[in-house]
């Protein structure tokens, strides 16, 4: 792109666009990066500068950008049929994807309800669980439980069960009441012990269930990794025992795998690390390899059956969106699953993840990074002023933002969460790339000190 064209576009961006999760005033001093091309693990801006896409374009990308088979799948589907409605009509990509997802997800998740973004897949789970109890002679089971530091999306229902208050406190009057339980965050236990933290957190769940199960519809969790809350990685035993508690107390378990699904943790689904089947599973982000919007809420035959009745009984699940089951998105999701298999993506991810884990230890040689951790293709640490002295940066210092700016100079597109610096790498990131990313990040950390 010539420079004049780039300048004109950025000027128009400033005049007409409102970006998500962005204090637009930040752009008064510094434009967003005008990306012209994305290929593999790289983004290229209009000025020819190359950046590693270290957060997989907001946690969605799976096989790298511009995968030829994905492009091919889009063209093939568009040649056949663009979009048609999904009530009264059905189509092969929607049917086949549902069939595949039922096969691949933990046993017992037998039904697939389509929507088009992660927040909405959560809304659907909440509404289904609520309506299930209404139609199962348990009308008192109306309340939800969420875990501190969790994030389930931006729509009001999803925010009501979110535990990252700092983002959303302004909306408090619009939200419904829900119960919260502590996070199994290992940092909350003495010595940072993950098992102890899980145990503590489960005790609180047990106490709440003992007292209130009669009014509880469901508990919603992010399996194994609380992502937006600060890349908190916790013990799989939490999931195993939480599943037992939910069964014992007759409370639905909603697993929000919107972020972690499709291989990011080294297994196709994070629930597999604990061998559990939730009552609802929400999937989006990686579902279409991070290329087109699509989401699903999966559930059990038991839940489905409570809605299945003669029309006049009014048990229909009355929810749906214009773009429900978009055929192009479904075709891409199917192709992504085929790529997973044909290219042995999970096997390779396990190897890359092991390499990432060893590379992450390099950060321990500096005094800033604390709680260095990784799970699958996600690596993170909390940036302290001094880890050894236990001193943190103040909010005003915007250390995360400074890391972002220095990262750009090093050809890294990093987007820290507060003081938590993290990678959320495409599954195709090679060893050489991982090592290079860590080298560059170490230089970034030297520069911001
Ligand atoms: C991103 C995310 C969502 C929301 O998905 P959107 O597509 O952004 O609406 C929900 N849950 C989790 C765990 C997420 O990370």
Spatial separation of the C-alpha atoms in residues 154 and 294, rounded to whole Å: 16
For residue 227, which atom of ligand 1 is closest to its CA?
15
Residues 210 and 103 occupy one common structural domain: yes
- Domain membership of residue 14 (yes or no) is no
- Measure 258 CA to ligand 1 centroid, in angstroms: 6
pLDDT on residue 1: 87
- Domain membership of residue 237 (yes or no) is yes
The torsion region of residue 389 among left (phi > 0), alpha (psi -120 to 50) and beta comes to: alpha
What separation, in Å, do the N-terminal and C-terminal C-alpha atoms of the chain show? 35
- Measure 118 CA to ligand 1 centroid, in angstroms: 4
- Measure 136 CA to ligand 1 centroid, in angstroms: 29
pLDDT in tens, 101-119: 999 999 999 999 999 999 9
- Domain membership of residue 163 (yes or no) is yes
Residues 92 and 40 occupy one common structural domain: no
Question: How far, in Å, are 57, 111, 224, 333, 342 from residue 270 at the CA level?
Answer: 20, 19, 6, 18, 21
pLDDT on residue 56: 98
Residues 173 and 279 occupy one common structural domain: yes
- Measure 98 CA to ligand 1 centroid, in angstroms: 20
pLDDT in tens, 66-109: 999 999 999 999 999 999 999 999 999 999 999 999 999 999 99
pLDDT in tens, 237-254: 999 999 999 999 999 999
Mean pLDDT score, 38-55: 97
Q: Is the CB of 150 under 6 A from ligand 1?
A: no
Q: Which residue's alpha carbon is nearest to atom 8 within ligand 1?
A: 118
Residues 179 and 255 occupy one common structural domain: yes
Q: Is the CB of 119 under 6 A from ligand 1?
A: yes
Residues 277 and 297 occupy one common structural domain: yes
- Domain membership of residue 21 (yes or no) is no
Residue with more model confidence, 30 or 35? 35
pLDDT in tens, 155-197: 999 999 999 876 678 999 999 999 999 999 999 999 999 999 9
Which of 342, 359, 389 lies at the terminal end of a domain, its last residue? 342
Residues 320 and 251 occupy one common structural domain: yes
pLDDT in tens, 204-228: 999 999 999 999 999 999 999 999 9
Residues of the chain with pLDDT > 70, as a percent, come to 100
- Containing 36, the helix (H) or strand (E) segment is strand 35-39
What's this model's pTM, rounded to 2 decimal places?
0.98
- Domain membership of residue 28 (yes or no) is no
Residues 348 and 334 occupy one common structural domain: no
Residues 133 and 224 occupy one common structural domain: yes
pLDDT in tens, 406-447: 999 999 999 999 999 999 999 999 999 999 999 999 999 999
Q: At 220, is the secondary structure helix, strand, or coil? A: strand
- Domain membership of residue 310 (yes or no) is yes
Which of 288, 311, 342 lies at the terminal end of a domain, its last residue? 342
DSSP letter at 65? B
Q: Is the CB of 284 under 6 A from ligand 1?
A: yes
pLDDT in tens, 318-376: 999 999 999 999 999 999 999 999 999 999 999 999 999 999 999 999 999 999 999 99
The β-bridge partners of 370 are 382
Instruction: Report the candidate in 392, 393, 394, 416 with the shortest Cα–Cα distance to residue 404.
Output: 416
Residue numbers of the domain that contains 52: 33-63+344-448
- Domain membership of residue 172 (yes or no) is yes
- Measure 45 CA to ligand 1 centroid, in angstroms: 26
Residues 190 and 102 occupy one common structural domain: yes
Residues 267 and 211 occupy one common structural domain: yes
pLDDT on residue 169: 85
pLDDT in tens, 397-417: 999 999 999 999 999 999 999
Q: Is the CB of 55 under 6 A from ligand 1?
A: no
- Domain membership of residue 150 (yes or no) is yes
pLDDT on residue 166: 67
Question: What is the domain-level CATH number for residue 50?
Answer: 3.90.1150.10
Question: What is the domain-level CATH number for residue 163?
Answer: 3.40.640.10
Residues 151 and 272 occupy one common structural domain: yes
Q: Is the CB of 222 under 6 A from ligand 1?
A: yes
Q: At 118, is the secondary structure helix, strand, or coil? A: helix
- Measure 158 CA to ligand 1 centroid, in angstroms: 9
Pocket test residue of 116, 151, 158, 297 for ligand 1, highest count of atoms within 8 A of CB: 151
Residues 114 and 140 occupy one common structural domain: yes
Which of 320, 342, 364 lies at the terminal end of a domain, its last residue? 342
Question: How far, in Å, are 62, 288, 298 from residue 261 at the CA level?
Answer: 10, 11, 13
- Measure 290 CA to ligand 1 centroid, in angstroms: 12
Number of domains the chain is built from: 2
């Amino acid at each position: 792109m010539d420079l004049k064209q780039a300048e004109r576009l950025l000027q128009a961006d400033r005049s007409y666009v409102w970006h998500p999760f962005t204090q637009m005033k930040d752009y008064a001093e510094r434009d967003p990066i005008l990306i012209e091309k994305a290929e593999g693990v790289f983004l290229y801006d209009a000025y020819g500068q190359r950046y590693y896409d270290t957060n997989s374009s907001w946690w969605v990308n799976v096989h790298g950008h511009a995968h030829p088979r994905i492009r091919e799948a889009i063209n093939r589907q568009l040649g056949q049929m663009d979009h048609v409605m999904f009530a009264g009509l059905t189509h092969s990509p929607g049917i086949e994807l549902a069939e595949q997802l039922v096969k691949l997800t933990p046993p017992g998740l037998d039904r697939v309800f389509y929507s088009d973004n992660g927040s909405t897949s959560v809304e659907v789970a909440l509404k289904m669980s609520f309506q299930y109890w209404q139609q199962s002679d348990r009308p008192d089971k109306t309340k939800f439980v969420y875990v501190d530091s969790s994030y389930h999306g931006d729509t009001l229902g999803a925010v009501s069960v979110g535990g990252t208050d700092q983002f959303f406190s302004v909306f408090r009057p619009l939200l419904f009441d829900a119960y919260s339980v502590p996070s199994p965050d290992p940092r909350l236990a003495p010595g940072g012990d993950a098992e102890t933290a899980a145990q503590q957190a489960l005790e609180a769940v047990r106490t709440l269930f003992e007292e209130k199960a009669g009014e509880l519809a469901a508990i919603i969790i992010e399996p194994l990794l609380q992502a937006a809350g600060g890349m908190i990685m916790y013990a799989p035993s939490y999931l195993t025992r939480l599943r037992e508690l939910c069964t014992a107390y007759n409370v639905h378990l909603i697993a929000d795998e919107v972020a972690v699904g499709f291989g990011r943790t080294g297994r196709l689904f994070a629930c597999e690390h604990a061998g559990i089947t939730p009552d609802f599973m929400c999937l989006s982000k990686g579902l279409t390899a991070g290329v087109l919007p699509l989401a699903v809420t999966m559930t059990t035959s038991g839940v489905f059956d409570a809605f299945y009745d003669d029309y006049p009984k009014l048990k229909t699940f009355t929810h749906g969106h214009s773009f429900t089951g978009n055929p192009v998105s479904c075709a891409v999701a199917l192709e992504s699953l085929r790529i997973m298999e044909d290219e042995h993506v999970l096997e390779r991810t396990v190897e890359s993840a092991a390499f990432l884990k060893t590379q992450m230890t390099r950060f321990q040689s500096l005094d800033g990074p604390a709680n260095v951790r990784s799970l699958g293709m996600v690596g993170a640490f909390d940036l302290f002023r001094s880890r050894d002295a236990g001193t943190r940066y103040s909010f005003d210092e915007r250390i995360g933002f400074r890391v972002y700016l220095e990262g750009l100079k090093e050809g890294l597109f990093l987007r820290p969460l507060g003081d938590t610096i993290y990678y959320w790498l495409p599954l195709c990131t090679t060893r050489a790339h991982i090592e290079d990313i860590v080298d560059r990040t170490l230089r970034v950390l030297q520069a911001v000190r």
